[in-house]
């Protein structure tokens, strides 16, 4: 299985530790195509067109998109729109302790599975439960 993991990369580097733990857990279930995004030395000096081209290729190649959406990001919303247009299953993670609420475009979307969590242990348990149902849950995808 190929998993595309998305989060607000450029502006929320402080949460990198959490994202590293999520990526590590996702790797039990497949290859995380975007695991480099949690690298503290991630190079932002490459052309935006190269980032766009690589991300689009990974989205097309992926079997599942997982996005941590607590921190708002226009790019992550765009990635989710592309994923939906490609009929990719999408799993969104949202921190319950946040003062924010997830967008209705996410929580009201029948093609997106939204998991409210309260930290990494909750995320791991929710991911494990999701992957236990993986073949059945996603058998109706295009």
Rounded to whole angstroms, how far apart are CA atoms 97 and 134?
27
Residue 142 domain flag? no
Residue 79 domain flag? yes
Rounded to whole angstroms, how far apart are CA atoms 38 and 109?
28
Residue 29 domain flag? yes
CATH number reported for the structural domain that contains residue 43 in this entry: 3.40.50.450
Higher pLDDT among residues 22 and 71, named by residue: 22
Higher pLDDT among residues 39 and 94, named by residue: 94
Note the pTM of the prediction, 2 decimals.
0.87
Q: Per-residue pLDDT tens for 69-83? A: 988 788 888 999 999
Q: Per-residue pLDDT tens for 31-56? A: 999 988 767 676 667 888 998 999 99
Alpha-helical (H) ranges within the chain are 16-26, 48-61, 74-85, 104-107, 120-132, 134-137
Contact 33, 92 (CB under 8 A): no
The pLDDT score that the predictor gives to residue 139 is 43
Per-residue pLDDT for 11 more than 80? Answer: no
Domain span at residue 122? 2-137
Q: Identify the CA nearest to 130 among candidates 18, 26, 2.
A: 26
């Amino acid at each position: 299985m190929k998993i595309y993991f998305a989060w607000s990369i450029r502006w929320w580097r402080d949460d990198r530790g959490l994202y590293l733990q999520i990526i590590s857990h996702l790797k039990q279930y497949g290859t995380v195509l975007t695991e480099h995004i949690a690298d503290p030395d991630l190079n932002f000096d490459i052309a935006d067109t190269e980032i766009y081209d690589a991300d689009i290729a990974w989205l097309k190649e992926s079997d599942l998109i997982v996005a941590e959406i607590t921190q708002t990001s226009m790019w992550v919303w765009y990635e989710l729109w592309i994923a939906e247009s490609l009929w990719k299953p999408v799993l969104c993670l949202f921190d319950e302790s946040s003062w924010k609420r997830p967008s209705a475009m996410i929580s009201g979307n029948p093609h997106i599975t939204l998991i409210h969590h309260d930290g990494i242990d909750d995320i791991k348990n929710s991911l494990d439960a999701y992957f236990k149902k993986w073949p059945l849950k996603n058998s109706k995808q295009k």
